[in-house]
Structure 1
Amino acid sequence: MDDAPGRKPWEAFHPDGVIIFSDILTPLPAFGVPFDIEEVRGPVIQSPIRDEDALKTLHPIDLEKLNFVGESLNILRHEVGDKAAVLGFVGAPWTIATYIVEGGTTRTYTTIKSMCHTSPHVLETLLSHITEAITEYVVYQVKSGAHCIQIFDSWGGQLPPHMWERWSKPYIKQVVDAVRKKCPETPLVFYINGNGGLLERMKDTGVDVIGLDWTVDMADGRSRLGPEISVQGNVDPACLFSPLAALTDEIHRVVKCAGPRGHILNLGHGVLVGTPEEAVAHFFDVAKSFKFD
């Protein structure tokens, strides 16, 4: 989002954290899952992995194929200096697996959910492979300049809580535990879209920060998670289409509910297409106006 030709968001808004606009599927070709991006359908994987034979196409992640990510992080780290945190990000194993099994974006997740019962060994093998690849990818991003890593289990909220415990949480915890050993100083942020029914379970993964979407009341989320873990969010992205006075009120409400410590003010998800740029600027102006003792 540029407010003038050639002007980067960092230059326009000077946030406390910056991130490279990319995609959670970026590392897939580096471990054996090529994909295309189609204008209407989005990501398309021509050869979904749904049986043992298909698993043979997988291989250990080749980080040389992701040099452009490392180079971009290094450039960004140099550009912002010590004025902002550089954020890296990855998709959680379950969420990445949904694309690989379904062959792209889906609204029903019927194929992968069926695999939980019909081919659990295939799905377990796939998730384990993704977990190893994502762990290496996280460490690579940290070594390339990322101060912090955000883990997105975007479609974890599509699972009933007991199935999330079985098919997502253990693999996220493996990533977290492995990164803790190799990069102990790196904070980890964890987000699930539609996470209201999973907050307490998310806490058990061992991350430092949990992102709340806008469907969770900030005060309620704080109460459920407890004071020992930080939170991120959770202004509704649609509020940036409202009058600026209403946006100001909502930002103040969220901050008041979150309290003065352990809160990263943010939207409850990404900036929506068509969001007025003056609203984004206003969000940052209001955020920077807060004073805490």
Structure 2
Amino acid sequence: MHMNSPLPRCDFSTALSSSSSFLHLGFGRDVTFRSVAPLRRNRLLILPRASSSPDPLLVQAARGNLVSRPPAWMMRQAGRYMAVYRKLAEKHPSFRVRSETVDLIVEISLQPWRAFHPDGVIIFSDILTPLPAFGVPFEIEEVKGPIIHNPITSKDCLNNLHPIDLDKLRFVGESLKILRSEVGEHAAVLGFVGAPWTLATYIVEGCTTRTYTTIKSMCHTAPHVLRSLLSHLTQAISEYIIFQVKSGAQCIQIFDSWGGQLPPNAWEQWSRPYIQEMVSAVRKACPQVPLVLYINGNGGLLERMVGTGIDVIGLDWTVDMADGRRRLGNKVVVQGNVDPAYLFCPLPALTDEIHRVVRSAGRRGHILNLGHGVLVKTPEEAVAHFFDVARDLRYDSLFEEVMVEDLKPVS
């Protein structure tokens, strides 16, 4: 998409269904993967061709299109590991100021783009950013992190909630429009939100927690209150996603960061239905925009995540990519999942791990990423190397196997 192209149309028309199967390494009913072997004479060798779509590589891959290499970006790719960010943060010590001021949002979001040229530029923001726009004010303390002084734990507390006021989030929309203009067709602009359950953990607990005892107890002591809160969050965040897309986001990642803290059966009850409802609402308004779902500690939830209707599932590094691909099949794109600690290893080891992950994911339907965010004190040269390796990858050379239809060796 060219820099001067109009923003993607976002309406409530029914999306055309994309039912073409993914042809992963080792997957696909109508495709055989074999090492190169003598062919029957007069047989036509059909090689895969990359998509000719004008959309950025990451968007194409997220839709399951065949591309020449896996696109790459990193969660938390803008942040404290970069010297330019630390210098800016010294001038603007408040995180809320940095993440709610258009000029600073754009500058910070573009810092890794200028330095490393990833295939995705994600807006510098926070999953809690929209909370005040629907009645949940919060503060961020340097040591304790986010603090909500009036947590919602009873029916009366629900009265403080109101429909989301998107005018209060104009700094997000303006930032996305500028980022789209700055990046042009060279990378995808990504927006993101928190999933209802994850946002509810902060709103109910009032702060970051390691035990989640208050909200988990609430599932049994005040389930009607929790359901009302989750429903309100679902509506508000669905509108917030659509707002981001209208402003220029070409792909949206949903972080259910604390969904992995629930037992799988509880996640089915308290998280999945609300994500599924959110996905359905966004699909009706913006059918062309791929949606990514990431859950930290999702090894026990992979198959269940497919049921949300999401386009892309992010894997953390505790799930083997080959095993994740087998479990998920060829119906969804996968994202990840290099261990962030590899960025502290010798560069050849990082190269080998990137190659292993890409081979395990297969030659279609994969977005290269870390299994979690970039760690503080990560060497910038390692991040640069990660993206250099990613840009040099080519599926045709990485895989020795040749993908053909009805390919048979000489008998």
Same fold (TM over 0.5): yes
1:56-95 equivalences in 2 (<5 Å): 56-95=159-198
Question: Does the Cα contact within 8 Å between 1:211 and 1:233 map onto a contact in 2?
Answer: yes
How many residue pairs match? The answer is: 293
Tell me: higher relative CO, structure 1 or 2? Use CA pairs within 8 A at least 6 residues apart. 2
Tell me which of 114, 123, 132 is aligned to 2:226. 123
Structure with max Cα Rg: 2
Question: What secondary structure does 2:351 align onto?
Answer: helix
User: Given residue 179 of structure 1, which amino acid in structure 2 is its aligned partner?
Assistant: V
Distance (whole Å) between structure 1 residues aligned to residue 177 and residue 304 of structure 2: 34
Aligned: 1:169 with 2:169: no
Question: Which residue does 1:233 correspond to in 2?
Answer: 336
Distance (whole Å) between structure 2 residues aligned to residue 265 and residue 27 of structure 1: 28
Aligned: 1:189 with 2:302: no
Structure 1 stretches of at least 4 aligned residues deviating more than 2 Å after TM superposition: 1-7
1:176-255 equivalences in 2 (<5 Å): 176-255=279-358
Question: Which residue does 1:141 correspond to in 2?
Answer: 244
Question: Which residue does 1:152 correspond to in 2?
Answer: 255
Aligned: 1:38 with 2:141: yes
Tell me which of 352, 370, 378 is aligned to 1:267. 370
Question: Does the Cα contact within 8 Å between 1:3 and 1:12 map onto a contact in 2?
Answer: no
Question: Does the Cα contact within 8 Å between 1:187 and 1:208 map onto a contact in 2?
Answer: yes
Deviations 1:144-191 (A, max 9, x none): 000010000000000000000000000000000000000000000000
Structure 2: stretches of 5+ with no match in the other structure: 1-78, 88-106, 397-411
Aligned: 1:105 with 2:208: yes
Structure 1: stretches of 5+ with no match in the other structure: none
Deviation at 1:3, TM superposition (A): 6.1
TM-score norm. by structure 2 comes to 0.70
Question: Does the Cα contact within 8 Å between 1:90 and 1:149 map onto a contact in 2?
Answer: yes
TM-score norm. by structure 1 comes to 0.98
Distance (whole Å) between structure 2 residues aligned to residue 202 and residue 100 of structure 1: 24
Question: Does the Cα contact within 8 Å between 1:210 and 1:229 map onto a contact in 2?
Answer: yes
Aligned: 1:22 with 2:125: yes
RMSD between aligned residues: 1.1
Distance (whole Å) between structure 1 residues aligned to residue 223 and residue 180 of structure 2: 41
Deviations 1:212-266 (A, max 9, x none): 0000000000000001211000000011011111111111110111111100000
User: Given residue 277 of structure 1, which amino acid in structure 2 is its aligned partner?
Assistant: E
Deviation at 1:292, TM superposition (A): 2.0
Distance (whole Å) between structure 1 residues aligned to residue 194 and residue 372 of structure 2: 15
Question: What secondary structure does 2:136 align onto?
Answer: coil
Deviations 1:94-137 (A, max 9, x none): 00000000001000000000000000000000000000000000
Deviations 1:183-220 (A, max 9, x none): 00000000000000000000000011000000000000
Distance (whole Å) between structure 2 residues aligned to residue 144 and residue 66 of structure 1: 11
Question: What secondary structure does 1:214 align onto?
Answer: coil
Distance (whole Å) between structure 2 residues aligned to residue 73 and residue 114 of structure 1: 38
Deviation at 1:8, TM superposition (A): 1.6
Question: Which residue does 1:8 correspond to in 2?
Answer: 111
Distance (whole Å) between structure 2 residues aligned to residue 91 and residue 9 of structure 1: 22
Distance (whole Å) between structure 2 residues aligned to residue 113 and residue 291 of structure 1: 46
Question: What secondary structure does 1:18 align onto?
Answer: strand
Distance (whole Å) between structure 1 residues aligned to residue 251 and residue 359 of structure 2: 25
Question: What secondary structure does 1:26 align onto?
Answer: coil
Question: Which residue does 2:359 correspond to in 1?
Answer: 256
